[in-house]
Chains A and B, each alone.
Chain A
Amino acid sequence: MDIKGATNLLGNEVITTKLDEAVGWARESSLWPMVFGTACCAIEFMSVAASKYDISRFGAEVVRFSPRQADLMIVAGTITYKQAPILKQIYDQMSEPKWVVSMGACASSGGFYDNYTTMQGIDEVIPVDVYVGGCPPRPEALIDALLLLQKDLREKKYNPNRHANFKGALDA
């Protein structure tokens, strides 16, 4: 019996779908962020989590501070060379599937700290899925990044190999 036949037979009692779509829907609606907050951008993340912008409207309010319990890393703030090995370690500790949002000019490119101590973008050491511009980005911009990621999960499905060719400066 094909899917149509099954739907006809069972009516509204059961919803049929494809497995990866069901999984994608579950992932999309329950992203658990691990906030790697280091600087000013982290203060704007606080706003995203507070009542006015309320990230829970998008199913991503379960902020974890343990990388092992999270699947969405939000890097909010400047990453210095000193911080880079820590960032990489935390990223490595997150289990697949995982995504990275680079929040703000600093995390994305070093921002206006073009100097001896600031890494010129976190993608020197870890792969990034969504970049958010702004110094700091407005809360809406971060939410937009979240929606973008969710759309991706919904439509294009999750590709575990998308960063297969990534090689960071601290990778052996």
Chain B
Amino acid sequence: MPNIFTPLLARISPLKQTLSEDDLSIEVDAKNLFNNIEFAASAGFDYLVDITAVDYLSYPKTPVARYAMVYILRSTDFKSLLTIKSFIINEEVESITQLFKAANWLEREVYDQYGIKFTNHPNLKRVLNHHEFVGHPLRKDYIITNGQHCSIAESLMDEMDVQLEKHNLKDEEHMFLNLGPSHPASHGTIRTLVALDGERIKAAVTEIGYLHRGFEKSAEHHTYSQVIPYTDRLNYCSAVMNNVGYVKTLEEMLGVHVPKRAEQIRVMLMELSRIMDHLVFLAAQLVDMGALTNYWYLYNPREDVYNFLSKLSGARLTNSYMRIGGMSHDLYDGYEEDLQTIITNVQKGCADALALIKHNRIFHDRAKDVGIISAKDALSYGWSGPNLRACGVNSDMRYLKPYYGYDELDFDVVLGSHGDVYDRIMVRFEEIEQSIKIVKQIQATLIDGEINIADRSIILPQKKEVYTSIEGVMNQFKLTFEGIKVKPQEYYGSIEAVNGELGFYVVSDGSGTPYKMKVRAPSFLHIAALPEIIQEYQLADAVITLASLNIIAGEMDR
């Protein structure tokens, strides 16, 4: 057992505990929940990964209470995971917002989706569903197709008043300006209400949920394999990355390992995804600064990636290429050439863009020292990925908890120092270079062999078998209609996705359909910090600060 757990278990006496490798799951009494989390935070588990709840109403084995709260924490070095679970009786639990800034929105989501109340929460209101919504959709007795119209957007002045009060601005005169959700600078789905003094932002409130498409509820109504296309649409700028995050979690639950070649192809495609996602980010970010030319320099190489992906999977954007236990098929003949084209054109696009901005006074003046967040705050908000690395914190799971042979690859973890817009941009430019380096290494070392595991309870049989044997037909039929059976367990798995830690918390009940699925989406945690980091900056700075967080609504709102 890693030493870090020793003091924890000495102090907390859990009702149940399970230990696997670096991770510990415990169940504690609801009475001690807050104290235990507080202690865990002081004993080295000071990074909040996620908060969610489970509704056991229709679970095959009825547990002690209908609802349980689940808190996932990570150690300071990011290597160990601690999951604290607690059954709650009266649908009420103490808020941990005073321990972690990230808890604010995460608890609001639990309240919104499950109706669990958090005492001492500063602002317990819905976050994903609209303000006229009645009921709590992730409760098992909420019927999935029960849609509710929303007649008008809410004013948000209730939250704004609290902000003004907090900053002692109640008596001053402000101009209120609504940015979004449909606004050139808000990318379609994010709304921010700002109180302005001239051009300066004195207080801000952000509202999300405009693209909440019910991923988690939909997942509960589909087999494990049918969920894969839904994962494409989480971060749709890098679909394959989400595919891998999901199937990897499921494979860990099933206790299977994909063959080496499959791992290598996955790494290659994940790094390509990282590149293409960063390209959209940089293109959009620079356009928001008024540097329009870069859009063509940086976006056009994406077409080369699309070309490759559509030859590979048939789709440009939403690839659904991965399968639980492998992938739909192997690389195509002659892919090497296409890969080379991608690399050449991406490098050229980046070089051209950098030539325009690297020594550009306007760019420096606008991006440097703007939208700063300290490493401490970023960690408290649960930031991850390039946004956190821009603050100088190495949280890269590829390096810290390597999977799929990342430890055998030569690449640098790119860090910033300042946590401003400039760092967030430059970190991504450099990450593209590093990803190219990884892709080249994979290409040079790619081994021959199988891409799928040989387990007929997971992987579909060959078409030839299906057409010629009754066993084949039955196998195909059962896997398609009943789904892959996953034995009852609760598991959290994650990868280092483009925007940071993308995790899936899955509760299985032995059937072929997930009982519950929660996505730990990096963008959700990033956006929660926006109102704080744009404060006291100019309005135009807020626009580029928002862009610099690379918020992808699909994963933010799910």
A residues contacting B by CB (< 8 A) are 36-40, 42-44, 46-47, 50-52, 65-66, 77-78, 80-87, 90, 112-120, 135-136, 138, 169-170
The reply to whether B149 and A84 contact each other, CB–CB distance below 8 Å, is yes
Select one of B213, B303, B554 contacting A117, CB under 8 A: B213
Q: 5 tightest CB-CB pairs across the interface, nearest first?
A: A65-B184, A40-B236, A115-B214, A82-B130, A117-B214
Q: Write 25 A-B pairs (CB below 8 A) sorted by A numbering.
A: A36-B188, A39-B211, A39-B213, A39-B236, A42-B188, A47-B303, A51-B296, A78-B211, A80-B212, A81-B130, A81-B147, A81-B148, A82-B210, A83-B210, A84-B149, A85-B150, A85-B152, A86-B182, A86-B210, A114-B145, A114-B218, A115-B217, A116-B144, A116-B214, A170-B149
B250 to chain A, nearest CB (A): 20
- Cβ A39 vs Cβ B553 within 8 A: yes
In Å, the complex CA distance between A171 and B229 comes to 34
Instruction: Let me know if B348 is at the binding interface, CB within 8 A.
Output: no
In the complex, what residues of B have CB within 8 A of residue A37's CB?
A: 187-188
Pick the residue among A40, A90, A118, A135 that contacts B147 (CB under 8 A).
A118
List, in ascending order, chain A residues with CB within 8 A of B79's CB: none
State whether the Cβ of B376 lies closer than 8 Å to any Cβ in chain A.
no
- Say if the beta carbon of B142 comes within 8 Å of chain A: yes
Q: In the complex, are the beta carbons of A40 and B129 less than 8 A apart?
A: no
Contact A40 B233 (CB under 8 A): yes
Bound complex: CA A3 to CA B129 (Å):
62
Known: A52-B300, A78-B213. A40 touches B317 (CB 8 A): yes
B130 contacts A113, C-beta separation under 8 Å: no
Q: Tell me how many residues of B have a C-beta within 8 Å of chain A.
A: 52
Taken together as a complex, chains A and B put the C-alpha atoms of A87 and B129 apart, in Å, by 17
- Please determine whether A116 and B217 come into contact, CB atoms closer than 8 angstroms: yes
With A43-B317, A80-B209 given, name 8 new contacts (CB 8 A).
Answer: A38-B189, A50-B303, A65-B184, A81-B130, A113-B214, A116-B142, A117-B212, A120-B147
With a cutoff of 8 Å between Cβ atoms, the chain B residues found around residue A120 in the complex are 147
Contacts of B302 in A (CB 8 A): 47, 50
Cα distance A82–B283 in the bound complex, in angstroms: 28
Nearest residue, chain A, Cβ from B183:
A65
- How many Å lie between the Cα of A84 and that of B150 in the bound state? 7
**Once the chains are docked, how many angstroms separate the CA of A44 from the CA of B553?**
15
Contact partners of A44 in chain B: CB under 8 A:
316-317
- Find the A residue at minimum CB distance from B185: A65
In the complex, chain A residues whose CB is within 8 Å of the CB of B317: 40, 43-44, 136
Q: Given contacts A116-B217, A117-B137, A138-B316, is CB(A38)–CB(B211) below 8 Å? A: yes
Q: Is B147's CB under 8 angstroms from A117's CB?
A: yes
How far, in whole Å, are A170 and B148 apart by their CA atoms in the complex? 12
Q: Judge whether B237 is part of the interface by a CB distance below 8 angstroms.
A: yes
Interface, chain B (partner A; CB < 8 A)? 128-130, 133, 137, 142-153, 181-184, 187-189, 209-214, 217-218, 229-230, 232-233, 236-237, 280, 283, 295-296, 299-300, 302-303, 306, 316-318, 553-554
A94 to B: closest C-beta gap in Å: 12
**Closest residue of chain A to B557, judged by CB?**
A80
B280 engages A83 (CB within 8 Å): no
- CB of A115 within 8 A of CB of B149, answer no
Q: Is the CB of A50 within 8 A of B296?
A: yes
Residues of A within 8 A of B296 (CB): 50-51
Cα separation A124 to B232 with both chains bound (whole Å) = 26
List residues of chain A with CB within 8 A of the CB of B184: 65-66
Please tell me if the beta carbons of A82 and B280 are within 8 angstroms of each other in the complex.
no
For the complex, what is the distance from the CA of A44 to the CA of B183, rounded to whole Å? Answer: 19
CA distance A80 to B311 in the complex (A): 32
Q: How far is the CB of B126 from chain A (nearest CB, A)?
A: 10
Question: A135 contacts which chain B residues (CB < 8 A)?
Answer: 318
The answer on a CB contact under 8 Å between A80 and B295 is no
Q: Are A43 and B303 in contact (CB under 8 A)?
A: no
Most chain-B CB neighbours within 10 Å: which of A47, A80, A85? A80
Nearest CB of A to B9, in Å: 41
Shortest CB distance A98–B (Å): 15
| Bound: A78/B211 CA distance, A | 7
Q: Which residues of B contact A87 (CB under 8 A)?
A: 182
CB atoms of A115 and B188 under 8 A apart = no
Task: Determine the distance from Cα of A42 to Cα of B284 in the docked complex, in whole angstroms.
Answer: 12
A82 CA to B148 CA, complexed, in Å? 9
User: Interface centre among A40, A90, A112, by most B CB within 10 Å?
Assistant: A40
Q: Are A77 and B303 in touch, CB under 8 angstroms?
A: no
Q: Are B149 and A169 in contact (CB under 8 A)?
A: yes
Report chain A residues within 8 Å CB of B299. Answer: 46-47, 50
Kindly provide the distance from the CB of A77 to the nearest chain B CB, expressed in whole angstroms: 7
B147 x A115 contact (CB < 8 A): yes
Q: How far is it, in angstroms, between the C-alpha of A46 and the C-alpha of B128 when the chains are bound?
A: 26
In the complex, A136 Cα to B148 Cα: how many Å? Answer: 25
A80 CA to B133 CA, complexed, in Å: 12
User: Hey, which chain A residues are within 8 Å of B189, CB to CB?
Assistant: 38-39, 83
Query: Pick the contact of A116 from B148, B151, B210, B303 — CB < 8 Å?
Result: B148
Q: Which residues of chain B come closer than 8 Å to A82, judged between CB atoms?
A: 129-130, 150, 153, 209-210, 212
Q: Are A116 and B130 touching (Cβ within 8 A)?
A: no
The distance from the CB of B330 to the nearest CB of chain A, in whole angstroms, is: 24
Closest B residue to A118 using CB positions: B213
The reply to whether B210 and A80 form a contact with Cβ atoms under 8 Å apart is yes
CB distance from B284 to the nearest CB of A (A): 8
Of B146, B189, B209, chain A has the most CB atoms within 10 Å of the CB of B189
* Residues of chain B lying within 8 A (CB to CB) of residue A83: 181, 189, 210-211
In the bound complex, what is the Cα–Cα distance between A78 and B300 (angstroms)?
A: 25
Q: Which residues of B contact A85 (CB under 8 A)?
A: 150-153
The smallest beta-carbon distance between B249 and chain A, in angstroms, is: 21
Q: Is the CB of B217 within 8 A of A90?
A: no
- Of all chain B residues, the one with the shortest Cβ separation from A42 is B188
Contact B150 A118 (CB under 8 A): no
Q: Which of B142, B150, B187, B303 contacts A81 (CB 8 A)?
A: B150
CB distance from A104 to the nearest CB of B (A): 10
Is A40 within 8 A of B153, CB to CB? no
Q: Which listed residue (A38, A42, A65) contacts B210, Cβ 8 A?
A: A38
Complexed CA–CA distance, A83 and B149 (Å): 10
CB distance from A69 to the nearest CB of B (A): 11
